[in-house]
Structure 1
């Protein structure tokens, strides 16, 4: 099981702040995760429609989309940060 945490408008569009889901073996990277989540329903597809701008953190450390997610205790997805 993977613990997923959603922030800001990703959370609002999916409709929940976190969840635990079983991931198929084919989900190996952050990009794979986003692609898989998009198949789980309209709210996921809407929240992640621009998956390339979604930021990913594994165990509270920012990572690139091609980073492996194996062994992660927590995976967070959030939109790009703005501000100054």
Structure 2
């Protein structure tokens, strides 16, 4: 089963560090999540990494068996 991994503040919003989901198109997977979480995951500054590789275009993403999609919020610090 594919997994969604939430980092930083997104983990707080999701209430968990990762979530196992059914395989399929990313749009369908996000539509099945809590709407408040889905909105945060689609934020302009949130980056995604599919199986450890940063992706810039979420169009056409379909998660399959064993895939991991990590959501990476912007980091601040100094």
Query: TM > 0.5 between the two?
Result: yes
Change (3 A) 1:82 1:65: farther
| Residue 66, structure 1, aligned to residue 66, structure 2 | no
Give the TM-score normalised by structure 2. 0.68
Structure 2 segments unaligned to the other structure (5+ residues):
none
In structure 1, distance between residues paired with 2:31 and 2:45: 14
TM-score (norm 1): 0.65
Following TM superposition, by how much is the alpha carbon of 1:23 offset from its aligned partner in structure 2, in angstroms?
4.1
Please name the residue that 1:21 is paired with: 21
Unaligned ranges ≥5, structure 1: none
Distance 1:64 1:46, change over 3 A: closer
* Structure ranking higher in helix proportion: 1
Summarize deviations over 1:18-66 as a string: whole Å, max 9, x none. Answer: 0110144xx25xxx37xx4255225414633x52221100111111133
1:41-52 → structure 2 map (5 Å cutoff):
41-45=34-38, 47-48=40-41, 51-52=43-44
Quick one: higher RCO (CA 8 Å, sep 6+), 1 or 2?
Answer: 2
